[in-house]
Structure 1
């Protein structure tokens, strides 16, 4: 059978040229064509922040994407998805895409952001607030780099860069033959989340020595913030502050079990939610305790409120105050104790007090202690940052890179909070130093930074809240939850969904390729028709004699 087929095929080749061209050439092209490449790549994307605060919209307003990919090097970006790598990112390039009405922007992040050059990290951290300063109609996404996504970027970059240096004919040919990528998201348009509850936690330890004891309040907000909620891990801000609060709760729970180390102060610990949104959790907690109840430790004798914020890095320690403490007050004693401990035990740490008045005209408060200061409670914030304006407090670059040495230094600074007021005997000071567990503290930071803690992602059923509640319950008494929901008529804050989506990059040919392909098919069919018209009778006679 194969000999007969080969003989027929050989006779076909010996026939007229048009027949060979019509039948043989397409068959060869089909047989030798390579296997089709992977047509699509699916990957997760994380959308830029979208929220309203005090009626002002921030972040991107869209969450739908279905358009062709380009890099910022292309001349025309209108209605295109502009993809760029973080290493090449700049605010000018970002603004170029927005000015040209790009369809979307996708920023590719490296797998290990903590290993990035420090200058790139610092540059991007400073740009994040500018990206969020006003609302953006264009959807903006972030994606983690992988081999397929990097290949898509490289091919798109080559295509976008070459068009500017070619002639019109070359551009036409290149456009027709180059591979393109259609970027499509699978999610729906974003919408406001109704009845979202921000959760805060409270626990206490009772002092000894009679009734009406003064109260010391220790506060830290647990939520993180960055340009993309799903990438906001907040190791330093404020994973470090929460880990310090939990460690202090653990230490004092031990110290308050012994008479010789049981101080004459009530201790109130508060882990607040919504800290990155103007301290909404703290605001509601103060209202509930000062305006809507007759019995609260905050209504009695409050010695001071110590807020812990951003304590995991750096070689300095700052006590931020709204009003300098007066001599003879517990606040002044705390300041002097901190100075003494740092100077005698940690001379390499630079300690200072930073005075900044509360500016009620600002939409956002600078530090959490200002919420207490507005209600005339003596409060201050302990941080390694000299200013609230520094970008480290609100960045997706704030990942787990806390140095153990710095942690121990700041633990030493935190020890001063108890030595003047909570440790009436020298024996207590010795016990304090022996109880500090750096590994335990580090493990808490590891857990806190294992998942994003943006306020939009942490609801009342979140594992973050339940785990914090569990740890506080191990060390403290009367652990309670406090919720805050936005007012429906005039909401202080509004959150939106569709913050994490799946994106598909489909390999496509441009529209002009379909046009040229149609022309080639029409020409081919025309040639076939002419060939049959010219050589049809002789070809049929030849085929009849062959068979």
Structure 2
């Protein structure tokens, strides 16, 4: 504000100094008053993603701020903190702030994001990847609205829209300041994955079925990434499958001739780093691994908490007579016989090694020539809800998640016990009564997972997320182990940065004689020093009288 107003005073003094002096001095005397107490509103801000992946930087590169607030309606945004509300957010407005070299951008989010109009939610989800596609020099923050923050926005909007000097001089302004330090790379960060198993019966060389789900979440801001459907639904389904089959494997009569291996992977949203290292450890650096034996297939669970469609994403269509072919057929049988309202399909997409990011987790296994596929209610990996801060708890329909869990459980059981070849009808249900899928258990797990952000940068090896998942796996499975992946020091596959959550203060200032004197200092080249002394003395005298 000072810089803008000083330009006006500068022109005034240059054009007509005597007249200006006559008009200006009375104005100063009228407006002069003791300085008001400085008011501040403190609130938490969540910074946009900052990470490097395969040497490519993404997100914002800065984390500190000390500049005046403006809304995007102002003509001049350079070196200003631009405040936007999500309801008014657009990519064009965001780009305007970037083009004018704004000092920062703060996007105000509603308290209840699930109550936002669906068109606004969908629009923002689609813009998140674009915001992260390239690195941004200016810091970008998100803040949850409250009454004071909305008041700051409203007052800033009013002053930003005004072009009248007098209005600007009498309006309140805000200086936005962050209390944190500049961001820096986090060294030796470990991404943690978990595995557990149920050993089959009938010999040592048994086929192994691997069930996989990545547990981390992703969105434009790590501290706001709750990943309810992607992939809280997949994790809760995996834990429920582990519970159900652990019961079956407890009794001799139902102990099957398949090994079951359950894997909760970390770093899934960063090109499946946890799965990549787990495969390397099991296939390249050990002599005793279930993955080195007869792998029937790998089933990855991803985004299964909504919709009335199920899609089996494959990199290579299964050959007739193979275990993966039998799973495909059993899924079709269960859906058509027991859940006709569900539309089931297989979607074939080849692995594109030229892409920076793999489409689905099963592609990590496909690269290592392991038969694998991903089950999801999404028809494409490109859909925005897989990586959005808008993926919150209401996005999971527990009844549909329970239904989908039962579809998977029944299909797996039919493969394991070879029920189709034994003549079992398609509507035969294995998981009933005491063995049925527990909807309340699925709901409790999703509630817990969405109660905290699970971005990979926030979940270290000592995190309660990891320890709780480990506890649940150990309750149902044997040989539960942790697997860690750290970035290579010389050529890191990934780099995370700190200062993702900070405190911001909005300091209120009011235009008084003090600010007038600041403006005069900015145009001091046009004034005689004695005039400054006179004005300063006037302020002291009038201020003493007012006291």
**Which of the five TM-score ranges fits, normalised by the shorter chain?**
0.7 to 0.9
Number of aligned pairs? 507
Q: Distance in 2 between matches of 1:322 and 1:28?
A: 76
**Residues 176-224 of structure 1, C-alpha deviations (whole Å, 9 max, x = no match):** 2111000000000000000000000010000112220100000000000
**Residues 359-401 of structure 1, C-alpha deviations (whole Å, 9 max, x = no match):** 011111000000000000000000000000000100000000x
State which drifts further: 257-266 or 198-207: 257-266
CA-based RMSD of the aligned residues comes to 8.6
CA contact (8 A) 2:78 2:103 kept: yes
CA contact (8 A) 1:204 1:478 kept: yes
Aligned pair in 2 of structure 1 residues 429, 151: CA closer, same or farther (>3 Å)? closer
SS in 2 for 1:94: helix
SS in 2 for 1:63: coil
Q: Distance in 2 between matches of 1:11 and 1:211?
A: 90
Residue 305 in structure 1 maps to residue 305 in structure 2: no
Candidates 312, 325, 332, aligned match of 2:318: 325
Deviation at 1:429, TM superposition (A): 8.8
Aligned pair in 2 of structure 1 residues 348, 425: CA closer, same or farther (>3 Å)? closer
Deviation at 1:15, TM superposition (A): 41
Q: Distance in 1 between matches of 2:322 and 2:438?
A: 31
Deviation at 1:162, TM superposition (A): 2.1
Could you tell me which runs of 5 or more consecutive residues in structure 1 were left unpaired when the two chains were aligned. 164-170, 401-409, 431-435, 522-531
CA contact (8 A) 1:334 1:416 kept: no
CA contact (8 A) 1:226 1:394 kept: yes
Aligned pair in 2 of structure 1 residues 6, 180: CA closer, same or farther (>3 Å)? closer
CA contact (8 A) 1:318 1:382 kept: yes
Aligned pair in 2 of structure 1 residues 533, 393: CA closer, same or farther (>3 Å)? closer
SS in 2 for 1:111: coil
Q: Distance in 1 between matches of 2:63 and 2:298?
A: 41
Q: Distance in 1 between matches of 2:326 and 2:12?
A: 105
SS in 2 for 1:199: strand
Aligned pair in 2 of structure 1 residues 304, 538: CA closer, same or farther (>3 Å)? closer
In structure 2, the partner of 1:533 is 528
Aligned pair in 2 of structure 1 residues 96, 428: CA closer, same or farther (>3 Å)? same
Q: Distance in 2 between matches of 1:439 and 1:397?
A: 24
Q: Distance in 2 between matches of 1:193 and 1:186?
A: 19
CA contact (8 A) 1:70 1:82 kept: yes
Q: Distance in 2 between matches of 1:245 and 1:3?
A: 59
Residue 424 in structure 1 maps to residue 425 in structure 2: no
Aligned pair in 2 of structure 1 residues 205, 538: CA closer, same or farther (>3 Å)? closer
Mapping of residues 83-94 of structure 1, within 5 Å: 83-94=83-94
Aligned pair in 2 of structure 1 residues 249, 22: CA closer, same or farther (>3 Å)? same
Aligned pair in 2 of structure 1 residues 24, 513: CA closer, same or farther (>3 Å)? closer
Aligned pair in 2 of structure 1 residues 416, 137: CA closer, same or farther (>3 Å)? closer
SS in 2 for 1:497: coil
Q: Distance in 2 between matches of 1:125 and 1:262?
A: 45
Deviation at 1:114, TM superposition (A): 0.8
Bigger radius of gyration among the two: 1
CA contact (8 A) 1:64 1:188 kept: yes
Deviation at 1:428, TM superposition (A): 11
Aligned pair in 2 of structure 1 residues 423, 70: CA closer, same or farther (>3 Å)? same
Aligned pair in 2 of structure 1 residues 34, 341: CA closer, same or farther (>3 Å)? farther
CA contact (8 A) 2:5 2:519 kept: no
CA contact (8 A) 1:68 1:183 kept: yes
For normalisation by structure 1, the TM-score amounts to: 0.82
Aligned pair in 2 of structure 1 residues 11, 44: CA closer, same or farther (>3 Å)? closer
Q: Distance in 2 between matches of 1:353 and 1:490?
A: 38
SS in 1 for 2:180: coil
Deviation at 1:519, TM superposition (A): 8.2
Aligned pair in 2 of structure 1 residues 37, 347: CA closer, same or farther (>3 Å)? farther
**Residues 408-463 of structure 1, C-alpha deviations (whole Å, 9 max, x = no match):** xx9xxx9999xx99999999998xxxxx1000110000000000000000000000
CA contact (8 A) 1:260 1:428 kept: no
SS in 2 for 1:201: strand
CA contact (8 A) 1:261 1:428 kept: no
Aligned pair in 2 of structure 1 residues 260, 10: CA closer, same or farther (>3 Å)? closer
SS in 1 for 2:528: helix
SS in 2 for 1:453: coil
Q: Distance in 1 between matches of 2:5 and 2:209?
A: 97
Q: Distance in 2 between matches of 1:5 and 1:472?
A: 64
SS in 2 for 1:184: strand
Q: Distance in 2 between matches of 1:449 and 1:439?
A: 15
CA contact (8 A) 1:337 1:416 kept: no
Q: Distance in 2 between matches of 1:537 and 1:380?
A: 77
CA contact (8 A) 2:87 2:120 kept: yes
CA contact (8 A) 2:221 2:389 kept: yes
**Residues 147-198 of structure 1, C-alpha deviations (whole Å, 9 max, x = no match):** 00000000000111122xxxxxxx2212221110000000000000000000
Could you tell me which runs of 5 or more consecutive residues in structure 2 were left unpaired when the two chains were aligned. 396-401, 406-425, 536-543
SS in 1 for 2:51: strand
Deviation at 1:535, TM superposition (A): 25
Q: Distance in 2 between matches of 1:301 and 1:476?
A: 20
Q: Distance in 2 between matches of 1:376 and 1:120?
A: 42
Deviation at 1:264, TM superposition (A): 0.7
Residue 229 in structure 1 maps to residue 222 in structure 2: yes
Extract structure 1 runs of 4+ deviating beyond 3 A.
1-38, 414-417, 420-430, 509-513, 516-521, 532-541
Deviation at 1:349, TM superposition (A): 1.0
Deviation at 1:513, TM superposition (A): 6.1
Q: Distance in 2 between matches of 1:96 and 1:12?
A: 31
For normalisation by structure 2, the TM-score amounts to: 0.82
SS in 1 for 2:217: coil
State which drifts further: 342-351 or 223-232: 342-351
Aligned pair in 2 of structure 1 residues 241, 538: CA closer, same or farther (>3 Å)? closer
Deviation at 1:258, TM superposition (A): 1.2
State which drifts further: 509-518 or 303-312: 509-518
Aligned pair in 2 of structure 1 residues 160, 439: CA closer, same or farther (>3 Å)? same
CA contact (8 A) 1:219 1:305 kept: yes
Q: Distance in 1 between matches of 2:47 and 2:176?
A: 14
Aligned pair in 2 of structure 1 residues 208, 415: CA closer, same or farther (>3 Å)? farther
SS in 2 for 1:52: strand
Aligned pair in 2 of structure 1 residues 175, 209: CA closer, same or farther (>3 Å)? same
